[in-house]
Structure 1
Amino acid sequence: MSINIKSFYFTIILLLSAIVLHAQSLSNIQNVKVDELSDAQIAAIVQRAEEQGISKSQIPTLAQERGLSAMEANKLATRISQLGTAGGGVDQSANSPADTGAQRMVSTPVAGSFNGDNSKLTEKQQKIYGFGLFHHKELNFSPNLNIPTPESYVVGTGDQLLIDVYGDSQQSYSLTVNPEGRLYIPNVGPIAVGGASISAATARIKQELSSIYSDLNSSNPRTFLQIRLGNIRSIQVSMTGELAHPGTYTLPSFASVFNALYAAGGPNEEGSFRNIKVYRNSRQVAEVDVYEFLTNGNQAQNIRLQDNDVIIVPAVQTRVEVQGPVRRPGLFEIQADEDIRDLIHYAGGFKSQAYTQRIGVRRVSEDARKVADISQEQFESFKVQDGDIYLVGEKLNRFENRVQISGAVYHPGEFALFDGMTVKDLIDKAEGLRGEAFLNRATLYRTQEDMTLEIVPVDVKAVVNGTAQDIQLQREDVLHIPSKYDLSEEYYVKISGEINRPGAFAFAENMTVEDLVLKAGGFKESASDAYIEVARRVKDRTDGQIAEIFTIDIDQNLEINGADKEVVLHPFDHVIIRRSPGFQREQLVRVEGEVNYPGQYTIATATERISDLLKRAGGINPFAYTKGATLIRRTEFYSPQSDNEIKSAELREVKNNLLKEDGKNTEAENNILSRIDQKIGEKGGDLANQKGLASGEFKINRVKEVATSDSSRVAEVEFRTQELIGIDLDYIMEHPGSDQDLILQEGDVLSIPKELQTVRMRGEVLFPTSARYEKGDSFKNYVSKAGGFTDNARKGKAYVVYANGDVQRTKGFLFFKNYPNIEPGAEIIVPQKPVREGMSATNWIGVASSLATLAILIDRIAQ
């Protein structure tokens, strides 16, 4: 096909537009990487070439002339050929001249194979040794086209020969062998190179070119010749026999037997991996054993293929299975001259737990199945048969020479038993006894012949001293020497109360109360040093006494006074540090609203009242609405902070105020920060640090239990942590110290609002809203301002909540209702009628039957 050179270059520019997608310009084609192109881009190049009348085999040549490197041009040719064979790789019809050399070896698994994923193989295929070789996603056996031209390579039709003349004369030729096997050199003529090796073709070309370059064949040449392959040709190989995809394949001329097997999907389940035959010109030229490659890496028979070669995969003749602890259990093909040692070699050898002295065999005989035992001496002489199943056993899960020691020795564990080994020898191997070892008796656990357990008592002290006969050990003996602490409770003492780190601590001999207080971090500020109580367990008492109680005097310097110095703690003693009667943590209340000095106040005395707090707040201001004053008080459901939580929060404030923004604290400040971090992390488990009151918690739990068990007995309960207490502030100011003047409690909030001017209506009214307070207006007038009652309103149960928290309900006598008076800030609440369920038909029938029965009874009585 003749193509105008300008059209060539224009076409190549179009074809290579897909190649330069990755920020490469057309003027920099020599840097293109074909591996970075997708299959879609390669397909676009081929499609554009065919539209311009250019065959696939000419695309790499044109690209190379444009500047693409020879290596990348070869890769481009390979990628183009892959597109031609990706549909299955089988070429059942003769190729046209334009396609000759374009078909190449597929570099990914063929269609219909397992896409390189061994997990998709069947169970039998996974067991066949070597089957996954041609289905492995990391292996593609693609022929290497980037190697120096082999001297033995046979030149054929379609091969491109690149001839370089260099030295005194410079000339380059890029020539393709024509279908007649000739190479046409300008000014020289045709040269027959088809069927010749590269070395022979080089000699012929050199001889012919010497007519132009006479110095080529001189004894001291200054002009030299080099020949290399450019775009290689394609060959056709026929694949027959037990293959996954038999057929005729078009492959690169560099392809080997493994390349062809991979293209055909490898042998199928019944195909042989040991006797793959290669025929050339009706003669067998090679017999490939895949096992040689898998086990020894030997590819001597993996020859390079030639055009029209035939590869035959025969059916497997002898296949056996190996089961048990071997490295590669599965199905293996065995040759006639191989034995069990070869079979174990293919299976990767025995695992460490395999019993190698004997192998069991299951075999199919002429009439039935049978089993056989093969000793290790018979491995080389036993004849392997097709269908055999070789069973490798495991060693016994037992130790031949193990003895063990545990307990109070320095190195407990397993040791090897030797002849004549005794208990003393085993103790010596364990580096001797620890100090806490219980020497009066140890236990030797012995396994008898019938696998029952026997206990042999051992006097350890006598055996070690030599005053008693030593005991000889047997296999699997276990000697346990207990610690004296294993035979008694773990001793501890406990401290609680006003101590920084209450809890249980390990007991130590001669421990005193001072030692325990020191270990617990010292006293709290609230601790009483005059009353420390120690509770001690009593034993063997039948008079009803539960504990022995005594007190100790100790000062803040941890000095015990008087005879108490002699008191030494016993195991399980409980030291209780009581709170000092005169210690009181500050309690805060708050005043808000219309007073002269609102804010927080500390309760000064236990009898401080509302009037006292109001005086300290400077009294009320002119805008105060005293009738709306209320006291907000915590309920029993409020969970106060524990002492530790309060202390931690305050210490965090100290830390935040102590930290400097630039981080440049002094050494003393850093020490304080360190101590604060340590104390914040401390958690006390003492009763003094618990939240809330036990009575409050019990009440909450009890109400929940009753409501859960019988909802009809208990109305819906809202566990409020704070409630309003209605007070008469005018009366309190006029009569300080009266019953109305309540004693303050921690957390109380005295709220005095401004003068209120509205009344609020909510509940079962047509339009819940707030209305302006008008003196003299009645309850019904305000309800009318909210649109009146709804049909579901329960008028007789309506009530008013006043601004100070007091509540008054509607009172009734006969058909008359006495509604509460309304004051500024009041809230009218109209509840809903209870939902009443209608009587069912069954109930009506029951009522009717009862009435009829009653009528009959009255009638009879009347008669």
Structure 2
Amino acid sequence: MQSLHQYHTILKKSLLLILFWIGISGLAFSQNLSNLSSLKVDDLSNAQIEQLIKRAESSGLSSSQLEAMAREQGLSPIEAAKLRERISMLKRTVGGEGGVGSQSGGRLGGPLDEDKNLFDSIRKSDPYYDLSPFQKKIFGYKLFHNRNLDFNPSLNLPTPQNYIIGAGDQLLIDVYGASQQSFDLTVTPEGRILVPNLGPIQVGGSSIEAATSRLKTSLGRIYSGLLGSNPNTFIQVRLGNIRSIQVSMVGELTKPGTYTLPSFATVFNGLFAAGGPNENGAFRNIQVYRDSRLVATVDIYEFLTKGEQSSNITLQDNDVIIVPPVVSRIEVTGPVRREGFFEVKPNETLADLAIFTGGFLPTAFKERLTVRRIENNSRKVIDVSSDKFGSFHPMDGDEILVGEALDRFSNRVQIEGAVMRAGEYSLDDGTLTVKGLLEKAQGLKPEAFTTRATLYRTSTDLTLAAESLDLQRILDGQSEDVVLKNEDLLFIPSRYDIQEEFYVKISGEVNLPGTYPFASSMTIGDLILRSGGLLQSATNSSIEIARRVRDPSSGKRAEIITLSINSTLALSEEEKRTPLMPFDHVFIRKSPGFEKEQLVRVMGEVVYPGDFAISSANDRISDVIRRAGGLNQFAYPKGANLIRRTVYYKDLSENEKKEMILRDIHSKLDPEKNRKGNEAESLLFERLSKKLAEIEDIKNQEEKLKAEKRLNQYFAMDSSFLDSAINKVRLKDQDLVGIDLEAILANPGGPEDLILQEGDIIQIPKQLQTVRMVGEVLMPTTARYAKNRGVRSYVSRAGGFTENARKSKTYVIYANGDARRTHSALVWKFYPKLEPGAEIVVPVKPERQRLTPAAWLGLASSLATIGILVQTIANNANSN
């Protein structure tokens, strides 16, 4: 009892420890993913979505479980759908570009590997990976967030003459000409430079141009050649190492603060260092203050649309750049060159806005724009026609919707079918007729069916109407030409499209029997030549033609025509008078005295084993053994057997027959396998290729459906499906026939001597000396044959019968293929006699069905009923 108490104590402590760790884990997880209810997916960048997925992965959640958790925390269905779409987009992008988007267990990518970031590929390919969808749509926002751009100032420029010198600048002064001297001087904090032998000179706050003039005057006291109307000495001032300046970046910036920049830096360099304006920052009213005075107002749109940089001034030390909040921003959607959010000034119109959007796309509806506006605490829609684009002023929050042009044609007609150039054509001035359209299409093809064409028209209510035309009468001028209307479609069928493909078949004694394309005036001789000519076994007389009967009321199935041809295939008058018709089937009979060679094989212990031709229809086993030189001294005639072919045939369906015929014709017309065909045959080959491709597509669809059905049956574990799969019957194409070769050789031509058939194989083994035991024995094995041993003795050598052995059905298979079973009489069993090479087979007992409780109850009820019945009968008998 004490040990049991200790066990319960340990178990309780373990459970408390597990619950403690679960609580700690849940607390850590809640700290990471506890604010999903306030999630705004449009404000998240791909990088933030990536971090969210990583947090969920580290906590053991899949993407779908992350969405479910967000819904439980109160995330709206709209935001949940956006989250699912963003995660799905990242999954497709990572899987498509990086090849690492494979799923594991329903998660985005399985456990995260810190050595290999799943999102590296997409991050490298997208320069705006860190931006949210809303930020990407703000015009100008990408300018300062493109990792492929560099706004650092270039220091390899010639010294600008308007550059303002300040403390820390390095001035390189070169004196050249009649006198030569170089000075390397640094500007002191007081703004002076100290020139040897001359003293300090004030240059701070001056431009390079002003400082050069001042230095020229000062140095002229030493180098007189610098001054005068005809100087012979000159001076040049250059900047060496430039100083650094500090600029304050404040307002609606991504990274506001004080930045140290090179003194060559401009406003754009400062904005790039601070990450540019944020989502609420203005792009068109960036202010630069110097000594508390406004010195420049920068409009980034001027740079983006016109390349204008006049306001992009060079910054000075202690300048302040202020990015105020945006005052007026509108959104443009629809077929324009550049969709997104645009900042507008009060005096700008829709015409000015077109410069920022890049203009309309060709598919845009330019006649009118739709403006959605918030006014007086409600929304309203304003239609702006194209003539008011220059006077309509957008307001803050406006949504400008650009419509699309209608997907309809105003002057189109089409022609399809058997014409030289099918396609779309212009209606011109509305006087185009059927004849004129045919001229535009360069006329009909030779196979065009002109008796009837169809003109499809679109009614005013957009319903389809069809008008039948006798095209031949219109072309001959016997019928009035038809004036075409907008969206008319003239369809001219081909004769081949409305008739079955004509073919003829040839069977029998030809080199290439099969189906061939029909040609007008074709005779039997032409078809024989096409099929490779007659075989030696063929007869040129009594050739039959089976022809389709055109009159079904006659009761005939086919018209049989019999004729003969010249053995040299010379054209005879009889052949001329009997041309072939479509679908004729020609039968070339075998010559009465000709028999094709038939082979049998003798294997094993004969003098001359090998293949032998059957010499006559009544050749028997003894005949071929004699021709094989008889048995040799090692032969065991009792073990000889005969292997004979079996035939199982399953007829094809009608569709399969049709496909086979088309493929046969197609194969005969293939120029890569046969002779090159003429134009008609080439066209027929193309038509058949198209039809066979369609048939193949249908078969693929059917196979796909069958595969899906088999898969569904497999997952459903349907018993009938499993039984058919497991118990599938395998039909053999050969059977083993037991023969008594000793009796055959002793009495040739007797009842044991079978008549041979093509493909027969006679096997004569060597002297056999073993007996094999298989089936329900403890150790299936092979034992040496002993003449006086019986079946039970050999079974004992194999360990005896198993518990499942069905002893009464034990049977023996002899070496020649014969089999004999065990006979029973009362309690005695008479086992078959054994011979060398025999095989003892012990079958298994059939599995007995155990009675269920319900069956036992039913059996007991039946016995009780019988007992009552017997008792009743007995009582009645006693009473009588």
What TM-score comes out, normalization by structure 2 length?
0.69
- What does 1:138-177 align with in structure 2 at a 5 Å threshold? 138-157=148-167
The residue number in structure 2 matching 1:354 is 364
Q: Describe the SS at the equivalent of 2:553.
A: coil
Deviation at 1:813, TM superposition (A): 0.7
Corresponding residue of 2:401: 391
1:369 aligns with 2:379: yes
Q: Percent identity?
A: 55
C-alpha distance in 2 between matches for 1:477 and 1:791: 86
Shift of 1:146: 4.1
In the alignment, what sits opposite 2:389?
379
Cα deviation for residue 409 of structure 1 reads 4.5
Asked whether the equivalents of residues 537 and 594 of structure 2 are also in contact (C-alpha less than 8 Å), the reply is yes
1:847 and 2:859 correspond: yes
List per-residue Cα deviations over 1:536-559 (Å, max 9, x = no partner).
222234121122120232245433
Aligned to 1:45: none
Worse overlay, 246-255 or 114-123: 114-123
Alignment of 1:90-169 (within 5 A): 117-118=127-128, 121-157=131-167
Residue 324 of structure 1 pairs with residue 334 of structure 2: yes
Amino acid at match of 1:285: V
1:177-576 equivalences in 2 (<5 Å) = 194-197=204-207, 227-230=238-241, 232-366=242-376, 368-413=378-423, 414-418=425-429, 420-433=431-444, 442-452=453-463, 460=471, 463-466=474-477, 469-481=480-492, 489-555=500-566, 557-576=568-587
2-structure distance, mates of 1:710, 1:531: 55
- 2:334, 2:401 within 8 Å by CA — same for their partners in 1? yes
Give the Cα separation in 1 of the matches to 2:194 and 2:622. 127
1:421 offset after TM fit, Å?
A: 4.1
Name the structure 1 match of 2:843: 831
Relative distance call for 1:114 and 1:184 in structure 2 (3 A) is farther
User: How many Å apart are 1:335 and its aligned residue?
Assistant: 1.8
Quick one: which amino acid aligns to residue 514 of structure 1?
A: G
CA distance in 2, matches of 1:170, 1:758: 123
Equivalent residues of 1:638, 1:721 under 8 A apart? no
Residues 728-747 of structure 1: matches in 2 within 5 Å? 728-747=740-759
Distance 2:730 2:436 in 1: 75
Does the 8 A contact of 1:361 with 1:371 survive in 2?
yes
Cα distance, 1:579 vs. partner? 4.2
On the 8 A contact 1:115/1:137 being kept in 2, the answer is no
Q: 1:833 to 1:439 in 2, by over 3 A?
A: closer
For structure 1, list consecutive stretches of 5 or more residues without a partner in the other structure.
1-112, 640-673, 684-706
Tell me how far apart the structure 1 counterparts of residues 198 and 610 of structure 2 sit (CA, whole Å): 117
- The secondary structure found in structure 2 opposite 1:833 is coil
Q: 1:802-841 counterparts in 2 under 5 A?
A: 802-841=814-853
Indicate how the Cα distance of structure 1 residues 440 and 845 shifts in structure 2: closer, same or farther if over 3 A, else same: closer
The within-5 A match list for 1:599-748 is 599-636=610-647, 717-748=729-760
Give the 3-state SS of the residue equivalent to 1:235 in structure 2. strand
Q: 1:585 to 1:358 in 2, by over 3 A?
A: same
Q: Deviations over 1:708-762 (max 9, x none)?
A: 79989x9874433333222222222222222222223333322222222222222
8 Å CA contact 1:596, 1:618 repeated in 2: yes
Answer yes or no: is the 8 Å Cα contact 2:602–2:611 preserved in 1: yes
C-alpha distance in 2 between matches for 1:129 and 1:359: 20
| Equivalent residue, structure 2, for 1:774 | 786
2:526 aligns to what SS in structure 1? helix
Cα pair distance change 1:223/1:631, threshold 3 Å: farther
Cα distance change of structure 1 residues 503 and 473 upon mapping to structure 2, 3 Å threshold: same
Return the match for 2:606 from 595, 599, 611: 595
Corresponding position of 2:871? 859
Deviation at 1:226, TM superposition (A): 7.4
Contact 1:497 / 1:576 at 8 angstroms: preserved in 2? Answer: yes
Give the aligned length.
689
Contact 1:417 1:475 in 2 (8 A): no
Residues 636/182 of structure 1: CA separation in 2 closer, same or farther (3 Å cut): farther
In the superposition, relative to structure 1, how do residues 506 and 792 fare at CA in structure 2: closer, same or farther (>3 Å)? closer
What does residue range 80-91 of structure 1 map to in structure 2 within 5 Å?
A: none
- Amino acid of the residue matched to residue 815 of structure 1? V
> Structure 1's 381 and 803: CA in aligned 2 closer, same or farther, altered over 3 A?
same
Following superposition, the deviation at residue 250 of structure 1 comes to: 2.9
CA distance 1:508–1:830, change in 2 (3 Å)? closer
Closer/same/farther in 2, CA of residues 675 and 375 from structure 1, 3 Å limit: closer
> Which residue pairs with 2:101 in the alignment?
none
Amino acid at match of 2:743: Y
Distance in 2 separating the partners of 1:611 and 1:169: 134
Indicate the larger mover: 851-860 or 345-354. 851-860
* SS of equivalent to 1:118: coil
Q: 1:799 aligns with which of 783, 801, 811?
A: 811
Instruction: Give the counterpart letter for 1:813 in structure 2.
Output: A
User: Alignment partner of 1:136: what SS?
Assistant: coil
Range with bigger deviation, 516-525 or 543-552 = 516-525
Greater per-residue helix proportion: 2
- Cα separation, 1, equivalents of 2:747 and 2:196: 135
Relative to structure 2, which stretch is displaced further, 787-796 or 747-756? 747-756
SS at 2:351's partner residue? helix
Deviations 1:643-695 (A, max 9, x none): xxxxxxxxxxxxxxxxxxxxxxxxxxxxxxx999769xxx9xxxxxxxxxxxx
Q: 1:584 to 1:208 in 2, by over 3 A?
A: farther
- Provide Cα deviations, 1:494-531, integer angstroms capped at 9, x if missing partner: 44444445554444432322333334444455544323
Distance in 2, Cα, partners of 1:300 & 1:584: 106
Displacement after TM superposition at 1:253 (Å): 3.3
What is the aligned partner in structure 1 of residue 710 from structure 2?
Answer: none
Equivalent-residue separation in structure 1 for 2:375 and 2:274 (angstroms)? 36
Residues in 2 aligned to 1:733 and 1:365: alpha-carbon distance in whole angstroms = 117
Letter in 2 for 1:595: V
For the residue of structure 2 that corresponds to 1:732, the secondary structure is helix
The residue identity in structure 2 corresponding to 1:807 is A
Shift of 1:419: 5.1
8 Å CA contact 1:534, 1:574 repeated in 2:
yes
Distance change >3 Å, CA 486–CA 632, structure 1 → 2? closer
Structure 2 unmatched ranges of 5 or more: 1-122, 651-669, 676-684, 686-718, 876-880
The DSSP-based 3-state class of the residue aligned with 1:380 is: coil
Work out the CA distance in 1 between the residues paired with 2:280 and 2:437.
Answer: 61
Aligned residue in 1 for 2:762: 750
SS in 1 for 2:541: strand
Task: Answer yes or no: is the 8 Å Cα contact 2:171–2:237 preserved in 1.
Answer: no
RMSD of aligned residue pairs (Cα, Å): 4.1
Please name the residue that 1:699 is paired with. Answer: none
Q: Deviations over 1:217-244 (max 9, x none)?
A: 99887998774534x5433222222222
Amino acid in structure 2 at the alignment position of 1:345: I
Cα 1:621/1:182, change in 2 over 3 Å: farther
Which 10-residue stretch deviates more, 483-492 or 531-540?
483-492
Asked if 1:763 corresponds to 2:798, the answer is no
CA contact (8 A) 2:169 2:239 kept: no
CA distance in 2, matches of 1:830, 1:236: 103
